A and B are shown apart, each in its own frame.
Chain A
Amino acid sequence: MSELTGVIHDIGYQRYTGPRLGRRHVFGALYLHGVRTAFGLGRSAKAKIFPWLVVAIVLAVAAGLTAVRAQFGETVMTYAQFADAMSWLVIFFVAVAAPELVSRDLRSGVLPLYFSRPLPRGDYALAKLGALATALWLLLGAPQLVMFLGAAFTTGDGMSGVWHELLDLLPGLLYAALWAVVFASIGLLIASLTGKRAFAAGGIVAIFLMTTPVVGVLSIMPSRAINELAFLASPSTLVGGVGTWALGDLLVPEGQGGGMPIGDFGPVYAAAAVLLVAGCVTLLLLRYRKVAAR
Chain B
Amino acid sequence: MALLATESLTKTYGGRVTALADLTVSVEPGIIGLVGANGAGKSTLIKILLGLLPPTSGRVSVLGLDPTTDPAAVRARVGYMPEHDALPPDLSAAELVTHLGRVSGLPRTVARERASEALRHVGLHEERHRAVGGYSTGMKQRVKLAQALVHDPDLLLLDEPTNGLDPAGRDAMLTLIHRIGTEFGISVLVCSHLLGEVERICDTLVAIDGGRLLRADRVSAMTTATDVLAVEVSEGTDGLAARLAALDLPVAREGRLLLVPLADEATYDLILGAVAELDLPLHRLDQRRHRVAELFAPREPSHV
Contact = CB atoms under 8 A, between A and B. Distances in A.
Interface of A: 12-16, 18-23, 25-26, 29-30, 33, 42-44, 47, 104-105, 108-110, 112-120, 292-293
A21 B105 contact: yes
A108 B87 contact: yes
24 contacts: A13-B180, A13-B184, A15-B152, A16-B106, A16-B110, A18-B107, A20-B151, A22-B105, A29-B108, A42-B91, A108-B89, A109-B87, A112-B86, A113-B80, A113-B82, A113-B147, A114-B103, A116-B50, A116-B79, A117-B76, A118-B71, A118-B76, A120-B72, A293-B53
Interface of B: 50, 52-53, 71-73, 75-76, 78-80, 82, 84-91, 95, 99-100, 102-108, 110, 114, 117, 121, 131, 147, 151-152, 157, 180, 183-185
A13 B183 contact: yes
A42 B84 CA distance: 25
Which 5 interchain pairs have the tightest Cβ spacing?
A116-B80, A16-B152, A29-B102, A20-B105, A118-B72
A255 B76 CA distance: 61
B52 A117 contact: no
B88 A16 contact: no
A160 B97 CA distance: 52
Nearest to A17: B152
A120 B90 CA distance: 25
Contacts, number: 102
Contacts of B91: 42-43
Contacts of B104: 20, 26, 117-118
A115 B52 contact: yes
B92 to A, nearest CB: 9
B214 to A, nearest CB: 27
Given A15-B152, A30-B103, A118-B105, A109 B78 contact: no
Nearest to A14: B117
B110 A26 contact: no
Contacts of A16: 106, 110, 114, 151-152
Nearest to B74: A118
B103 A26 contact: yes
Contacts of B75: 116-118
A195 B204 CA distance: 39
Main secondary structure of the interface of A (DSSP, over half): loop
A21 B76 CA distance: 10
B99 A43 contact: no
Contacts of A18: 107, 110
A44 B131 CA distance: 9
A76 B107 CA distance: 47
A102 to B, nearest CB: 12
B107 A21 contact: yes
Contacts of B99: 29, 33
A109 B86 contact: yes
B114 to A, nearest CB: 7
B131 A108 contact: no
Contact of B86 (A29, A108, A292): A108
Nearest to A107: B88
Nearest to A25: B105
A292 B91 CA distance: 22
A6 to B, nearest CB: 16
Contacts of B90: 43-44, 47
A32 B270 CA distance: 73
B85 A26 contact: no
B86 A110 contact: yes
A113 B85 CA distance: 11
Contacts of B105: 20-22, 25-26, 118
A131 to B, nearest CB: 13
Given A109-B84, A292-B52, A116 B183 contact: no
Given A14-B117, A117-B103, 10 more contacts: A18-B110, A26-B104, A42-B91, A44-B131, A110-B88, A113-B80, A117-B76, A117-B151, A118-B105, A119-B103
Most central of A15, A22, A113, A292 by chain B CB within 10 Å: A113
